[in-house]
Chain A
């Protein structure tokens, strides 16, 4: 062996580290550092995962701008803005949850996690309502997709009232609205899937938090989940203007 060595601990009784420290780490600091770094790397993969969708979106918005504008008017700006606000508040409650865990306040932590959970459900509820409306109006790609709202705006009185200056699109451009909705469902669907996974993990965390698992100094799980949750929020922060706010002016 080289000059000096460090003895690796054998029997448990000699251990001076907290029970939640894994044995291949030599200190809690290393464990926290490591798992946090790992979570960030995972978020990198998520950036690249959504990145492909954003690339596709950029290209088709550039090619079919009129179709994208008109199609985006089919989305409810009220529901989109509400959802954005919901997610922002849920990010806030999640950050407060991390703070509560760090301050070892179990009650506050459970409250924050529950609020985040509920807000997540609210988001999904509003999303479901939006999806349902799209389904009803035959704006889901390949499921009896209809371009009628775009070739004949008068046939869609609700939207026509809010955007009277929207001209009828020629048929080929009207057909490109299907690409817009394809991307809409792909992007918001992928986002919603991540929300569902997040909410499921939140449910698990609420149970564990109530048992005091995160308020004894071991906040890594809450912290790292917080990173995930904020990332999902950031994706929506970009989806909102790109999908809903293309051009709402007349």
Chain B
């Protein structure tokens, strides 16, 4: 990612903030998320917590685990996207989050590839 540069401006630094009063607080894209979003997301999270607890009392067989994990993933996603501002962040931030999840996925999947295939016998 290249830095800003004004080739005609020899006396000041590149991309300097000339106005100290300028509100340069931001996510990387200068977006301030409104409290309404936070309240909505928070409410959804609490509701989904109640849902996941309730579903665990219902016998869905193997789908209990699937539903529980799906709800957890959904909750985690809205925390990441809204509370952690990733929805409003740069591509680099999104790529960073993805690479972390990808590596975690590799750890789980490839390790499980051993455990799940042990029962298949020798060949």
A residues apposed to B, CB below 8 Å: 4, 6-9, 16-18, 26-30, 32-33, 36-37, 40-41, 43-44, 47-48, 51-52, 54-55, 58-59, 62, 77, 81, 84-85, 88-89, 91-92, 94-96, 99, 101-103, 217-219, 223, 226-227, 230-231, 233-234, 237-238, 240-242, 244-249
Q: A42 CA to B38 CA in the complex, in Å? A: 24
Most chain B CB within 10 A, of A7, A81, A95, is at: A95
Q: A81 CA to B58 CA in the complex, in Å? A: 17
B35 on interface, CB distance cutoff 8 Å:
yes
B residues apposed to A, CB below 8 Å: 3-5, 7, 10-18, 20, 23-28, 32-35, 38-39, 41-42, 45-46, 49-50, 52-53, 56-59, 64-65, 68-69, 71-72, 75-76, 79-80, 82-84, 92-93, 96-97, 99-101, 103-104, 107-108, 111-112, 115
Interface of B is mostly: helix
13 more contacts with CB within 8 A, not counting A17-B17, A249-B57, are A26-B13, A26-B15, A32-B25, A41-B96, A44-B103, A51-B107, A55-B111, A88-B46, A89-B42, A217-B25, A241-B71, A249-B56, A249-B64
How many whole Å from A48's CB to the nearest CB in chain B? 6
Assess the A88–B104 pair: CB atoms within 8 A: no
A18 neighbours in B (Cβ, 8 Å): 17, 20
Assess the B68–A245 pair: CB atoms within 8 A: yes
Assess the A85–B49 pair: CB atoms within 8 A: yes
Smallest CB gap from B32: residue in A: A102
A27 neighbours in B (Cβ, 8 Å): 4, 13-17
A92 neighbours in B (Cβ, 8 Å): 38-39, 41-42, 83
Q: A102 CA to B85 CA in the complex, in Å? A: 13
Assess the A247–B15 pair: CB atoms within 8 A: no
Assess the B10–A88 pair: CB atoms within 8 A: no
Q: A41 CA to B93 CA in the complex, in Å? A: 9
> Can you list 12 residue pairs at the A/B interface with Cβ under 8 Å?
A16-B12, A26-B16, A30-B15, A37-B93, A52-B107, A55-B107, A91-B79, A96-B38, A99-B32, A233-B83, A234-B80, A240-B72
The one of A43, A54, A94, A241 in contact with B100, judged by C-beta atoms closer than 8 angstroms, is A43
B96 neighbours in A (Cβ, 8 Å): 37, 40-41, 44
How many whole Å from A221's CB to the nearest CB in chain B? 12
- Would A32 and B99 be within 8 Å (CB), given that A241-B52, A241-B69 are in contact? no
Assess the B28–A36 pair: CB atoms within 8 A: yes
How many whole Å from A55's CB to the nearest CB in chain B? 5
B39 neighbours in A (Cβ, 8 Å): 92
Assess the A237–B79 pair: CB atoms within 8 A: yes
Q: A51 CA to B103 CA in the complex, in Å? A: 9
- Would A99 and B20 be within 8 Å (CB), given that A55-B108, A238-B72 are in contact? no
Q: Which 8 A-B pairs have the closest CB atoms?
A: A245-B56, A92-B42, A241-B68, A44-B100, A248-B56, A249-B59, A47-B100, A26-B13
Assess the A241–B56 pair: CB atoms within 8 A: yes
- Would A54 and B108 be within 8 Å (CB), given that A230-B79, A241-B72 are in contact? yes
Smallest CB gap from B28: residue in A: A33
